[in-house]
Structures are given as structure tokens and as C-alpha cells.
């Protein structure tokens, strides 16, 4: 028997067929219209975009791309194989007229994506409104030039809004993203690449150009915020002796901050192997900084002038290891005064003003290798913390205040607290500075790992109550007063062991020193405390650290009673080492003859 389908069900199927057919026709029409609009608008948009970039940049930039696709239904478009190149002739003309920006850009990328632009609003209201512009994996070259400030009469130069207002009422892009870019920072005068980074991302929020935003001081280059992040930076130093690693570098214009995390400077070789790669003495550094951050950064000045102005630089936690091999001579004619902190500051290739440097939990280990004993001695300064004020090489700032003040504290040899205040004269031709402070109580046996290998003195007993010091210094030397308070001091004088052997005691000399010279306490019973007046003449091989501690060390020797015993300069120590090497060679030649 034939099955009968109710009329209402048959009508329902017909309705869906009609709907499906209409949708199919609409889709075909839409596709056809999209293809037509694509074909129709491509040449027009291509011409308009290229002309627009050239005209709006005062003919400075030229835009090229291989293809463009448009989706009028979603208001999206994409450009492929895009390049943006500056015209150097035009730039030089702008420089001559003092209208040139400090930075120009060369950009190449495979695709530029524009999403959700309101086409009807753009056409009828002359308002550009879009959701995002995305540049994926571009290659960006930023070329920096020093430009003269614009004359006062030209302060009324046209704003970006005034430049576009004849054709557009506003431009609003809610997000501009540059994802995973390669970035090169180039000195325009020398064409030298100053820095090159990979995996850089930039995020611009709420870019707006209209009649009100042109005067909005809360915006940075017309944006509410510009942020950046660099991840996984790694490079080999120019001399191929260090690996440099950085986990992340990030910052925002609105927050005025730059945060660098996971900085490591890693030597390529173990300590002795590293130093023996050089003909002359070269300090070896092994550095690890958990975080370095700038706050209160003036990005506008950094961009326009290439100068760094920041409210604070925070460093730490961090570990700093310095190794010095005393078997190698210093470079000829080298004066280490050039590496004093306030002298090195002058050599920065840019102007800098940092109101405050804040150190937090920085561990410093300074190690010297004695080639005769073939042993190492290490001085430890743990949890170095404090502040350094007015760090600058800016001439205008120096005219106002030419002193940087450091107030620091640390644990010496992991046990005793040192508090020190250093006053740097930032303009003195002789690198003048002064320092004063206090070292707290210490069992002096703690100093033996350093004293035995670096100073050939072994402390048998001794309790230090404190040290007070107040010293003036410069490139020529230092002078000042030291108060060293201690009890029950006894020492041994040592003779260097050779080929790794332990130092040997100079028994008779040690007896004489302890019996005749050494004063085993300060103050002595029923006597006033002794004060040491110290004078130290610096030699070119003496570093800032050497000059710093040598004044205190000489004061301690004077107070103890062995101030008359001469202390070798770095140059004299090197002569002794050289003589010892020649003696060994001579002995070896005699053995070979036998």
C-alpha cells in the first residue's frame, strides 16, 4: 500500500529547499561580489596606500607590496611581501631644515593583517576605525641620527591630526601588534649596528589621532600605551670569550619602566684557561643578575636624544665573581684609573641621569691566583645592598650637582657587617673620591683563607671589635685615618709553597714579629686607643678596589705594629713573579745538563 506524506510535511521540506536555494544564491552572489570588489578595489587601494604613505611622511617613506586581499564583509585586508623604505635624499633635506625625526625605519615582512575596519564609516564619515593591525615576524631596522632641536619659531609645526584633517576626521586603531620581530638598532652616522635582537614583540594600545587626542599629554606617540617584550636573547661577545644570555626584556611607556630578567655573562673557559688566552692580565667576570629594572624612564627623551633619564635603577639579587691571575703582566701603559666607577661613567657613549641606583642582595667574590704558590685567595662580600644617588655624566646635571653618593652595606667574609659611604667627585680631573665607614666584630681567623694565599700571613688568634675609617683618595693615592680595635692577636709569617704546596711558616721571623713588633691589642691595658694616619701612593696597576681596601689595610698594619714593613705594589709583585719564573727555568736547565 502506498505511503501518503501529509501536506504540511511536504510543504515544510519545500520551504527548506527554497531557503537553502536562496542561501546558495546569496553565497554565490557574495563570492562574486567579493571577487569583483577585490578586483575592482585592488588597483585603487594599492595606488592610494602608496601615495598616502609617501605624502603623509613628507615623501620620506616608500611603501611597496606584492599583493593585497580584501574582505568587504568582515572589513579585513592583508598585504603580502611588504617593504617600507626611507628616502635618504629626502631625510637629508629634512635634517637641513631641522624637521627630521631622530629615528627612521626600514621594514620588511611577509604579511600585514588589518582586521575589522568600518568601511562605510570610513567612506561616509571620513573616520578610520579598526580593531587591529598585525605585523607577523617582520624585519625592522631602526636607524638613529643625532638631530638638532627645532628652533623656537618652529614650535608651531603641524601635528599629525592637522596633517590628515583635510581628508580624515580621525584614525583609531585599538591594537597594533608586532609579533616576533628581528630588530637592528643602527648608528646612522657610522652605519654601525649598535644592537641586534631577535624575538621582539611590540603591543600598541588604543592608537588615536583626532582633534582632541593631538593635545593629550597622557598619550605616547598618540597611543594610550606602548609595550614591548624580548625573549630568549643569546649572543657571543665580540672577542668570543663570553656568552651573553637574557631571559626577558620588557617595558611599557605608560609604566615608564624597563625590566630585564635572567641576565648572565658566562665565560667561555675556566678561570686560568680564560686568563691565559691573553698576553697581558685581563680580569675574568662571571655575572648573573636575577633582575635589573629601570623605573621612571623618560622614553620621549630616549627616543629623540638617545639619552637615558630614569628615576631609579634596581639591581639584584645578583652574583658577581671576579678572577685575577697575577702571573700575567698588566698591559703596557695601562692605568686602571680609567676603570674607576666615576671615570668609566664619563666614557658611556650616551648621556645618562639616574637619580638612584638601588642594590639588593648582591654577592661579590673577588679571587686572586698566586702563580708561585699556585693557590687562590678569595674575598667575599655578601648581601651587598644600598643606594647610589645622582649617577650622571650629563653636563647640565653636573653643573647642579657634581657628586654621586653611595651608601652601602655588606657581610665581609660571610660574618662581619661593613657599612661604607663613598662620595664620588664626578668632575674632578684626578678622579677624587672619599670614603668612610665601619666594619663590625669578627673572629679574625675568618680572614685566613684570604690572608694565607693573598698576603702570606696566617692569623693564629685575634678578635676584632670594629674598624672605623675615613679616607680621601684620587688617582694618585689616598690618605686618612683608621681606628682598628682588637684583642689577642697572634700571626704567622709564611713563605710561599711552590707547585701547589702549602705555604710554610717562617718560624724565627714569626717569633720576632709576635714578640717585638706585634701589639696584640688596641687599646692596650690602661692606654688610649691608637689611631693610624695612613698615606698610600697608588701605582697605575692598582684598581679602584685595590685603592679602596689598601687604605684600610695599611691602617690595620700600622695599628698592629708592622706599618714599617713595606707592602709590595702590584708592579713589584709582578717583578717577583717574573724573577721566580726565571729562577725555575735556570734550575731546570741545570737539571737537564746533568
Q: What is the pLDDT of residue 67?
A: 86
Residues contacting 476, CB < 8 A, separation 6+? 430, 537, 538
* Position 138 pLDDT exceeds 50: yes
> Which of the listed residues 197, 221, 236 is the one where a domain comes to its end?
236
Neighbours of 101 (CB within 10 A): 17
Q: What is the pLDDT of residues 506-545, one digit of tens each?
A: 554 555 565 556 788 999 888 899 999 999 899 888 889 8
Query: What single DSSP character describes residue 115?
Result: E
27 is a domain residue: no
Mean pLDDT of 320-348: 89
229 is a domain residue: yes
Q: What is the pLDDT of residue 378?
A: 86
Q: What is the pLDDT of residue 152?
A: 47
As a whole-number percent, the residues of the chain with pLDDT over 70 amount to: 81
Least confident range of 43-57, 101-115, 194-208:
43-57
Helix (H) or strand (E) holding 418: strand 416-425
Q: What is the pLDDT of residues 531-588, one digit of tens each?
A: 999 998 998 888 898 888 888 988 988 898 876 666 655 556 666 666 766 776 776 6
311 is a domain residue: no
What is the pTM (predicted TM-score) of this model?
0.74
304 is a domain residue: no
Residues contacting 187, CB < 8 A, separation 6+? 143, 144, 193, 194
**C-alpha span between 345 and 532 (Å, rounded):** 33
Residue whose cell numbers read 687562590: 376
Q: What is the pLDDT of residue 338?
A: 92
476 is a domain residue: no
Confidence of residue 432 (pLDDT cuts 50, 70, 90): very high
Sequential DSSP letters for 323-339: EEETTSPPPTT--GGGG
* Position 356 pLDDT exceeds 70: yes
**Identity of the highest mean pLDDT range in 216-225, 234-243, 379-388, 498-507:** 379-388
> Which of the listed residues 218, 236, 254 is the one where a domain comes to its end?
236
Confidence of residue 369 (pLDDT cuts 50, 70, 90): confident
Q: What is the pLDDT of residue 351?
A: 92
- Higher-pLDDT residue of 370, 271: 271
459 is a domain residue: no
Task: Judge whether 332 and 288 are in contact, CB under 8 Å.
Answer: no
Overall domain count for the chain = 2
Q: What is the pLDDT of residue 248?
A: 93
Q: Across the chain, what does the average pLDDT equal?
A: 82
- Given the DSSP bridges, would you call strands 308-315 and 318-325 parallel, antiparallel or unpaired? unpaired
Cα–Cα distances in angstroms (integers) from residue 126 to residues 119, 168, 378, in the given order:
10, 5, 72
Burial class of 302 by CB neighbour count within 10 A (0 to 12, 13 to 18, 19+): middle
398 is a domain residue: no
Q: What is the pLDDT of residues 203-234, one digit of tens each?
A: 989 988 888 877 787 887 788 888 999 888 88
* Position 168 pLDDT exceeds 80: no
> Which of the listed residues 186, 219, 236 is the one where a domain comes to its end?
236
In residues, how long is the chain?
Answer: 594
- Higher-pLDDT residue of 562, 346: 346
423 is a domain residue: no
Query: Containing domain of residue 580, as a range?
Result: 568-593
Amino acid at each position: 500500500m502506498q505511503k501518503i506524506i501529509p501536506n504540511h510535511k511536504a510543504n515544510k521540506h519545500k520551504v527548506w529547499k527554497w531557503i537553502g536555494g536562496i542561501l546558495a544564491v546569496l553565497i554565490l552572489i557574495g563570492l562574486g561580489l567579493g571577487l569583483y570588489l577585490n578586483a575592482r578595489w585592488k588597483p585603487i587601494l594599492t595606488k592610494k596606500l602608496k601615495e598616502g604613505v609617501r605624502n603623509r611622511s613628507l615623501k620620506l617613506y616608500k611603501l611597496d607590496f606584492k599583493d593585497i586581499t580584501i574582505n568587504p564583509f568582515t572589513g579585513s585586508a592583508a598585504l603580502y611581501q611588504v617593504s617600507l623604505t626611507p628616502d635618504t635624499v629626502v631625510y637629508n633635506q629634512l635634517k637641513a631644515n631641522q624637521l627630521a625625526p631622530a629615528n627612521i625605519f626600514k621594514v620588511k615582512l611577509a604579511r600585514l593583517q588589518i582586521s575589522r575596519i568600518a568601511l562605510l564609516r570610513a567612506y561616509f564619515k571620513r573616520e578610520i576605525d579598526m580593531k587591529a593591525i598585525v605585523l607577523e615576524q617582520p624585519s625592522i631596522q631602526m636607524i638613529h641620527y643625532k638631530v638638532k632641536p627645532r628652533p623656537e619659531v618652529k614650535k608651531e609645526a603641524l601635528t599629525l591630526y592637522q596633517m590628515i584633517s583635510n581628508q580624515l576626521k580621525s584614525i583609531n586603531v585599538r591594537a597594533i601588534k608586532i609579533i616576533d620581530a628581528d630588530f637592528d638598532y643602527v648608528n646612522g652616522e657610522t652605519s654601525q649596528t649598535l644592537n641586534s635582537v631577535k624575538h621582539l614583540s611590540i603591543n600598541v594600545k588604543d592608537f588615536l589621532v583626532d582633534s582632541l587626542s593631538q593635545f593629550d599629554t597622557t598619550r605616547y606617540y598618540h597611543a594610550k600605551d606602548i609595550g614591548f617584550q624580548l625573549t630568549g636573547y643569546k649572543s657571543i661577545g665580540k672577542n668570543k670569550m663570553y656568552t651573553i644570555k637574557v631571559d626577558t626584556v620588557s617595558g611599557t611607556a605608560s609604566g615608564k619602566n624597563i625590566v630585564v630578567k635572567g641576565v648572565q655573562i658566562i665565560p667561555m673557559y675556566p678561570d686560568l684557561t680564560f686568563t691565559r688566552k691573553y698576553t697581558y692580565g685581563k680580569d675574568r667576570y662571571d655575572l648573573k643578575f636575577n633582575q635589573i629594572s629601570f623605573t621612571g624612564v623618560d622614553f620621549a627623551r630616549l627616543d629623540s636624544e638617545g639619552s637615558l633619564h630614569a628615576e631609579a635603577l634596581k639591581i639584584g639579587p645578583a652574583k658577581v665573581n671576579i678572577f685575577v691571575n697575577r702571573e700575567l703582566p698588566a698591559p703596557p701603559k695601562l692605568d686602571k684609573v680609567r676603570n674607576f666607577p666615576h671615570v668609566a661613567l664619563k666614557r658611556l657613549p650616551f648621556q645618562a641621569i639616574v637619580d638612584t641606583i638601588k642594590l639588593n642582595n648582591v654577592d661579590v667574590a673577588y679571587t686572586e691566583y698566586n702563580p708561585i704558590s699556585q693557590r687562590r685567595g678569595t674575598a667575599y662580600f655578601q648581601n651587598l645592598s644600598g643606594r647610589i644617588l645622582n649617577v650622571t655624566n650629563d653636563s647640565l646635571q653636573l653643573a647642579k650637582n657634581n657628586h654621586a653618593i653611595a651608601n652601602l652595606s655588606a657581610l665581609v667574609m660571610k660574618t662581619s657587617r661593613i657599612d661604607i659611604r663613598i662620595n664620588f667627585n664626578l668632575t674632578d680631573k684626578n678622579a677624587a673620591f672619599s670614603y668612610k665607614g665601619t666594619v663590625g666584630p669578627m673572629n679574625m681567623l675568618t680572614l685566613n683563607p684570604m690572608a694565607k694565599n693573598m698576603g702570606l700571613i696566617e692569623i693564629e688568634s685575634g678578635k676584632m671589635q670594629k674598624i672605623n675609617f675615613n679616607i680621601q683618595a684620587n688617582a694618585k693615592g689616598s690618605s686618612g685615618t683608621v681606628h682598628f680595635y682588637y684583642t689577642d692577636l697572634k700571626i704567622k709569617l709564611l713563605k710561599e709553597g711552590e707547585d701547589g704546596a702549602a705555604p710554610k711558616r717562617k718560624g724565627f721571623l714569626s717569633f720576632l714579629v709576635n714578640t717585638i713588633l706585634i701589639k696584640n691589642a688596641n687599646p692596650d691595658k690602661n692606654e688610649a686607643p691608637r689611631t693610624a694616619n695612613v698615606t698610600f701612593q697608588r701605582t697605575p696597576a692598582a684598581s679602584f678596589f685595590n685603592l679602596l681596601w689598601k687604605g684600610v689595610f695599611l691602617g690595620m698594619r700600622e695599628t698592629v705594629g708592622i706599618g714599617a714593613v713595606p707592602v709590595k705594589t702590584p708592579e713589584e709583585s709582578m717583578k717577583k713573579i717574573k724573577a721566580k719564573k726565571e729562577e725555575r727555568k735556570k734550575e731546570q736547565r741545570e737539571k737537564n745538563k746533568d
